[in-house]
């Protein structure tokens, strides 16, 4: 298929764009590069396959879809920092929801038939101690989750109105790097636990903050379900190939296994052979205590089984990329 990947210069977007291109799809990356990396897009799909533009620039986006004769969109372009969304909700509503609505309008005008949307388990909010299945009520506790859920509603409405095949993939904590070491995780600022823990090991003077040590969990730290980025990329490709016109579906992507912050710190120490300098810090507003996927639709709908998402493999691939690229994509 001829596919446009919005946000394809970002972390998960670049991994997915590379997999799609390697699988024979004709891929164009559309990204404003405000938080992505030109180098990541070039490594993923080759030079000359990046259209630089903003989703809110509908003329530019219309031109990109038309020039590429796009048949499908894989949509990653969004802001994704929970704390930032709490401090600046207007930024998130304008970019995440406004950008998605602009994209859907352009898709309808250009008759693009399918979309796979990068959603999040944050749409469920704080579900308590239960593993999260797709059928659970939605109750996001931060603006980031609210904007993703609102975008899902927009996708469902456009699927009904325009016959678009739409899939929202609600994934849990993306982590790891390409097993071959070509692509990795490089955010500025970095907010994810595993790269922050690796940086605390790699760079002297860094100290990992543990946000809350009094949560109602066995060791007092938050629990998350870590999913390898290569497995997430595979799921997006599968969602694209199984998309059905006029049908909206929302599917969790998780392993069903949770790891606490302390367990991640211990794994980073085991993989690197060095202790992780860390210190307790206050809880962050908008942080749920436990987010772990229950048995869901990914296997049934997509035939998806994660292959790289055990915690050791996640940390090992992330460490391999960080050691080779201590300056991120600037050293790639």
Asked whether the CA dihedral 142, 148, 152, 155 is positive or negative, the reply is: positive
Q: How far apart are CA 44 and CA 74, in angstroms?
A: 14
The tally of CA atoms less than 13 A away on the side-chain side of residue 281 is 10
Active-site residue, from 11, 92, 144, 171: 144
Q: Counting every residue, how long is the chain?
A: 332
DSSP characters for 126-140? Answer: --TTSPB-TTSPP--
Of 226, 228, 225, residue with least CA distance to 291: 225
CA of 77: how far to CAs of 89, 99, 178, 179, 219, in Å?
Answer: 17, 8, 20, 24, 35
What order of strands is seen across the sheet that includes strand 2-6? 50-52, 26-31, 2-6, 72-75, 114-120, 165-171, 248-253
Angle at 179 (CA atoms; ends 174, 185), nearest 5 degrees: 40
Residue 329 designated active-site:
no
- Is residue 293 within 8 A of residue 170, CB to CB? The reply is no
Report residue 232 as tokens: 């997430």
Supply the residues annotated as catalytic.
Answer: 144
């Amino acid at each position: 298929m001829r596919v446009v990947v919005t946000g394809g210069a970002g972390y998960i977007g670049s991994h997915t764009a590379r997999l799609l291109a390697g699988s024979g799809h004709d891929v164009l990356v559309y990204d404003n590069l405000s938080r992505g990396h030109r180098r990541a897009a070039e490594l993923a799909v080759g030079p000359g396959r990046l259209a630089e533009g903003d989703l809110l620039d509908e003329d530019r986006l219309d031109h990109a879809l038309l020039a590429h004769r796009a048949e499908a969109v894989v949509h990653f372009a969004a802001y994704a920092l929970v704390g930032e969304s709490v401090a600046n909700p207007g930024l998130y509503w304008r970019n995440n929801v406004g950008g998605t609505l602009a994209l859907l309008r352009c898709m309808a005008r250009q008759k693009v038939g399918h979309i796979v949307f990068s959603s999040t388990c944050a749409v469920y909010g704080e579900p308590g101690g239960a593993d999260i299945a797709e059928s659970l009520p939605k109750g996001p506790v931060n603006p980031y989750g609210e904007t993703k859920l609102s975008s899902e509603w927009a996708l469902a409405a456009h699927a009904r109105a325009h016959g678009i095949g739409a899939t929202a993939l609600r994934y849990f904590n993306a982590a790891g790097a390409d097993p071959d070491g070509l692509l990795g995780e490089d955010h500025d600022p970095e907010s994810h636990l595993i790269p922050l823990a690796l940086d605390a090991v790699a760079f002297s003077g860094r100290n990992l903050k543990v946000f809350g040590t009094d949560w109602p969990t066995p060791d007092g730290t938050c629990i998350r379900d870590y999913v390898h980025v290569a497995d997430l990329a595979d799921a997006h490709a599968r969602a694209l190939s199984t998309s059905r016109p006029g049908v909206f579906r929302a599917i969790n992507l998780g392993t069903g296994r949770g790891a606490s912050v302390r367990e991640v710190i211990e794994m980073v120490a085991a993989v690197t052979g060095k202790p992780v300098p860390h210190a307790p810090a206050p809880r962050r507003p908008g942080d749920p205590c436990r987010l772990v996927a229950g048995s869901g639709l990914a296997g049934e709908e997509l035939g998806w089984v994660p292959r790289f998402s055990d915690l050791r493999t996640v940390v090992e691939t992330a460490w391999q990329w960080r050691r080779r690229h201590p300056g991120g994509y600037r050293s790639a």
